[in-house]
A and B are shown apart, each in its own frame.
Chain A
Amino acid sequence: MTNETSKVIPIQPVSYSRSRQAGESQDVLDHIIDDFQDNPESMQYFYDLFRSVYCHGDEIKHEGMLVGTTCIQAPEELIYAFGATPMRLCNGSYHYDQKGAEFMPSKSCSLVKATLGMLNSDNVIPKIGKPDMIVNPTTCDQKKKSSSMMGDMGYKVYDLEFPNVKESEASRQYWQRSVRQFATELRQLTGRKLTKKGLQAAFNKTGRAQAAFRKLHSYRLLSPSIILGKDIFLVTNAYFFDDITRWTEKVEALNVELEARKQAGFKAVQSKAPRVLFTGSPPIFPNLKLPLLIEEAGGVVVADESCSANRMLYDMTAVDEWMVNDMVDSLADKYLKPCTCPIFTKNEDRKRRLLDLVKSFDADGVVYQAFSGCQVYEMEYRSVAEAFNQAGIPMLYVETDYSPDDKGQLSTRIEAFLESMKNRKKQKQRALG
């Protein structure tokens, strides 16, 4: 834009690393690293990765064609099988949230706005390059409506049709057809064929990554915790864009270190630190506001039910016959049946999963994050709160967005919540002892 002022004083283009956007990431990263003691050494890779990608704006390299995904419901194994690389586009930056505000009504999900804002900007961070295709599963309304907006920005968008009901056999078959259709689309895009070998290799890639994740997940069962939730979120967030094989190796290295910590009886937190289960709208870097507030206040996030971490990596495919058809169908099943996304008509499975997580991870309470404008999570609040109430588990419901403005107020609420959990714990122990 040229106006009168810039004619007089030419505005120098500022390098990305000095921009406000990079500053946002820089702040959060410094916070994650410097405000906590005893960070695992193997986390250094992830800290460096985020610094390079988000703070310096370094380019992310990938193999073959690039397929952007706007949701975990897009079967990434298929994308790998066609020699392309999937890249999750869901964005967590406040900078892009503001940029994307023009596309959506004022009270809409920050995540969707930020993703649109990112895709609409000239300098996309993470610097992945222009996707050859964006696959947009038709999940919540806001993501659905983003489809045409992304199309208008000049992206090639594929709507992956996703059912609203998951219990019925009809929806299962509809979704299986949908996934097969997606395979056909990928074949046209890449000009390659879907082979048993290619698909098997893709299964091995994600299977090994998932096995590593499950192992990592299992270390969180330990009480007192040996790793903090902020690090786990960083690790799973890296899965969005990092090379999958390298990611897996780094997680395996982290697991080795955690095993050593376990043997040594290491404690990352005090024994009485309240253990928190995190659920709801996904924390995506740099918006790790809520998990960080919890852990700064002396709590520890021991498990989560969110699509930027546990839900993305936990559930695994089972194949009966290792042939292309059965493998594709099993993929479809994996991406539909265990999903606890609130976009479905019923949420029994989500409630059961949450209660099971509380039990197995020995959580003292639950923090439920709902992004303002994420209607489905807001609507499920009532029934989830009721389920926890019945089970006698305290829950804090937090409606927030990417803006840092409510940090002070949230910090007070979280501290009070953690304090009440500590008291409950004490009372329980007294009653027992």
Chain B
Amino acid sequence: MTNLEHIRTAVNNVQFNRFRFWLQIFFFALLVYGGYLGIELGKHLPTFACGYNKELRGGMCFLMPLQHWMEWPWEKLFSAAALTILYGFAIFFLWFIALNRGWCGFACPVGTIQDWITSLRRWTGIRYSRYSEGQYKGLGIIKWVLLALMFLIPLGIGGGWFTHDLKSPFCMICPGRTVVPLFGLDVSQWSIDFSSRTNMIMTSLGLLVTGLFFIGAFVKKRFFCFYCPMGALHYLFSKAALLRLNKEGAKCTRCGDCYRVCDLQIKEIADDIQNKNIMTDDCIMCLKCVAACPEPGALKATFAGIPIFEATEAGFIKRMNKGRTDDK
């Protein structure tokens, strides 16, 4: 075997969940505490590096500047000043295509916090819940509605139809705003702003969503990701991304092992044998499916067309404790 093959085998045999756990911690530290080390990755990150986590953050979530821009008065929005927006968007796009929705599965602090809550649940021995097929289809629309509103409401402010108190409407209801600053011991977002009716409603909604977030994440794996408008925005550009999730239908036995471990309950991952690009709008690219696939090469993650993590029999057997001898 060549060195490259050795590396490939080692990667494909990796204890994936453990690897992902530590990678998530790395990204969490980078995005939530990076400011301590003077790290500043800019304001166009395609992940919930929340801007309300003020001094500590190592970068900022793109949705915050995006909503600000959309709030510009229309004259400004449709002038040369819009180049700023295009520039900002280009930076966002460049960040995004590197990892695709791997930003969700590996980097997003809110996603990581949900995984920690899941670990807590597992520790208590309570089982997870799932949506029924009907619920899944119905609720799946919410992220698209949120994405649309995230554009329409700020545009309405710029057009003078809505009050300025409605600014950054998504941030106001995003659990990232309340939860992420907690890691900097900042509880200032945990309050209701009584200064106006709109503020009161929005901050109350925010706290309500935060409550739902904690309960939801406890009973449902990656509860919020299913509704996340950032995820929906990602999906619009995912075809251009370098990191891909590919499936070779002919090698798939449709055993459903990937579907079993999928946090987002994506049935297509097991059943679809036609599409090579298997990513759906709900996929967070956590790659757990690849780690749980026993058929060599049926599922793989590729970067710019080069396979970087591939399903193998040996990897599966190791990860699922199949070869274990029972010591009496």
Q: Which of A87-95, A312-320, A364-372 contacts B (4 or more CB under 8 A)?
A: A312-320
Contact residue among A170, A207, A208, A333 (Cβ-Cβ distance under 8 Å from B256): A333
CB distance from B214 to the nearest CB of A (A): 19
Whether A107 sits at the interface, judged by CB under 8 Å, is no
**When A and B form their complex, which 9 residue pairs have the shortest distance between CB atoms, in order from nearest?**
A318-B257, A338-B255, A337-B256, A207-B322, A320-B261, A325-B127, A318-B292, A211-B323, A211-B322
User: Which residues of chain B are within 8 angstroms of A337 by Cβ–Cβ distance?
Assistant: 254-256, 259, 270
Number of A-B contacts (CB under 8 A): 97
Whether B195 sits at the interface, judged by CB under 8 Å, is no
Whether B128 sits at the interface, judged by CB under 8 Å, is yes
**What mask results when residues 304 to 337 of chain A are scored 1 for a CB within 8 Å of chain B, else 0?**
0000000000011111110101100110011011
**What mask results when residues 56 to 82 of chain B are scored 1 for a CB within 8 Å of chain A, else 0?**
000000000000000000000000000
Known A204-B326, A337-B270: A316·B253 in contact at CB below 8 Å: no
Q: Which of A121-129, A133-141, A143-151, A348-356 contacts B (4 or more CB under 8 A)?
A: A348-356
Report the interface size class on chain B: 35 or more
CB–CB A169/B255 < 8 A? no
User: Which residues of chain B are within 8 angstroms of A336 by Cβ–Cβ distance?
Assistant: 256
Interface residue total, chain A, C-beta cutoff 8 A: 38
CB distance from B316 to the nearest CB of A (A): 7
Contact residue among B271, B321, B324 (Cβ-Cβ distance under 8 Å from A167): B271
Whether B320 sits at the interface, judged by CB under 8 Å, is yes
CB–CB A316/B316 < 8 A? yes
For A340, the closest partner residue in chain B by CB is: B253
Tell me, in angstroms, the Cα distance from A398 to B252 when the chains sit together.
28
Whether B250 sits at the interface, judged by CB under 8 Å, is yes
CB distance from A239 to the nearest CB of B (A): 16
For A359, the closest partner residue in chain B by CB is: B250
User: Which residues of chain A are within 8 angstroms of B251 by Cβ–Cβ distance?
Assistant: 356
Most buried by A among B288, B317, B322: B322
Contact residue among B294, B316, B322 (Cβ-Cβ distance under 8 Å from A208): B322
Tell me, in angstroms, the Cα distance from A175 to B94 when the chains sit together.
46
Given contacts A207-B322, A318-B294, 19 further A-B contacts (CB under 8 A): A170-B133, A204-B326, A207-B317, A208-B326, A211-B323, A245-B326, A315-B294, A316-B294, A316-B320, A316-B322, A317-B320, A318-B292, A318-B316, A318-B320, A333-B259, A334-B257, A338-B254, A352-B252, A356-B251
**What mask results when residues 175 to 213 of chain A are scored 1 for a CB within 8 Å of chain B, else 0?**
000000000000000000000000001011101101100
CB–CB A169/B316 < 8 A? no
**What mask results when residues 256 to 291 of chain B are scored 1 for a CB within 8 Å of chain A, else 0?**
111111000001001101000000000000001000
CB–CB A321/B322 < 8 A? no
Which B residues fall within an 8 A CB radius of A? 122, 125, 127-128, 133, 249-261, 267, 270-271, 273, 288, 292, 294, 313, 316-317, 320-326
CB distance from A225 to the nearest CB of B (A): 20
Chain A contacts with B in 107-166, Cβ cutoff 8 A = none
User: Which residues of chain B are within 8 angstroms of A338 by Cβ–Cβ distance?
Assistant: 253-256
Tell me, in angstroms, the Cα distance from A211 to B315 when the chains sit together.
11
CB distance from A226 to the nearest CB of B (A): 19
Most buried by B among A203, A316, A355: A316
Whether A62 sits at the interface, judged by CB under 8 Å, is no
User: Which residues of chain A are within 8 angstroms of B271 by Cβ–Cβ distance?
Assistant: 167
Whether A214 sits at the interface, judged by CB under 8 Å, is yes
Tell me, in angstroms, the Cα distance from A208 to B321 when the chains sit together.
8
Tell me, in angstroms, the Cα distance from A148 to B133 when the chains sit together.
36
